[in-house]
Chain A
């Protein structure tokens, strides 16, 4: 790996052309992610400010199901790892098949995460905790809901990526797209660490 690659660019010496061409999009995507990070940051700050604004509604101890949260956490961590395997397959095996298989595994783990959290959302409504109930719940739903939407959008992206791979194979543009998708997917896990710590564990400590 050259000494001055962007973080996340991991095509290595094997494919210098694709590596060069992916520099600008990779940097641009990093900048985009940092902008997205500010969105999450503001929502985190809002959540912290609003933790007391329950207006008589339910709070963390009634709403949060730590077992489900733990399951989601490990699903997302595992999917981040399997995406790493997809990146390694892209770099070292340079065939569509292993890359696609790891992508499908990642998507399956991601889908499980999305469904589990969806179940939590439904349960929260059942326990009298829809976002309309209080300022605290609005903040909670905004933060976790936005992350959930991000992961769902990531699933759509993975599906599109698989279609692109079957259509164009490991073209230079597809390699770049795989890099960006990887940045996105790992980034979502980073945000989840924040949500886990501030919202769920912080709320129940």
Chain B
């Protein structure tokens, strides 16, 4: 019981530290002014994705021990979200290109 508590505590702590580090990395990429804009954006994006994964694992306990239906739910949401966001950007950028 006690060990359980300690290991879970450690998991939250790891999550918080990793999240903070990834946030700092993203801020650094933008504020250091040393790199190209696209590089900075790639770093920000990768750090955001990594941080989302970290928080899902450490705070929300999503993982291989979760129920299958929840993984399906989250993956399905990602697919549909990608369709909607990606579709919108594709459509509107095509429209934009042809209008200006």
Q: A: which residues have CB within 8 A of B?
A: 1, 3-10, 12, 14, 27, 30-31, 34, 37-38, 41-42, 44-46, 48-49, 52, 66, 70, 73-74, 77-78, 80-81, 84-85, 88, 91-92, 183, 186-187, 189-190, 193-194, 196-197, 201-202, 204-205
Contact = CB atoms under 8 A, between A and B. Distances in A.
Contacts of A31: 73
Contacts, number: 135
Contacts of A74: 20, 23
Interface residues of B, number: 50
Contacts of A73: 23
B4 A92 contact: yes
A5 B67 contact: yes
B12 A30 contact: no
By secondary structure, the A interface counts as: helix
A197 B50 CA distance: 12
A6 B27 CA distance: 33
Nearest to A12: B4
Contacts of B29: 201, 205
A163 B44 CA distance: 40
A120 B20 CA distance: 22
Interface in B45-68: 45, 47-48, 51-52, 55-56, 59-63, 65-67
By secondary structure, the B interface counts as: helix
Interface of B: 1, 4-5, 8-9, 12-13, 15-16, 19-20, 23, 26-27, 29-31, 37, 40-41, 44-45, 47-48, 51-52, 55-56, 59-63, 65-67, 69-70, 73-74, 77, 80-81, 84-85, 88-89, 92-93, 96
Contacts of B13: 81
A64 to B, nearest CB: 10
Contact of A7 (B5, B47, B60): B60
B66 A66 contact: no
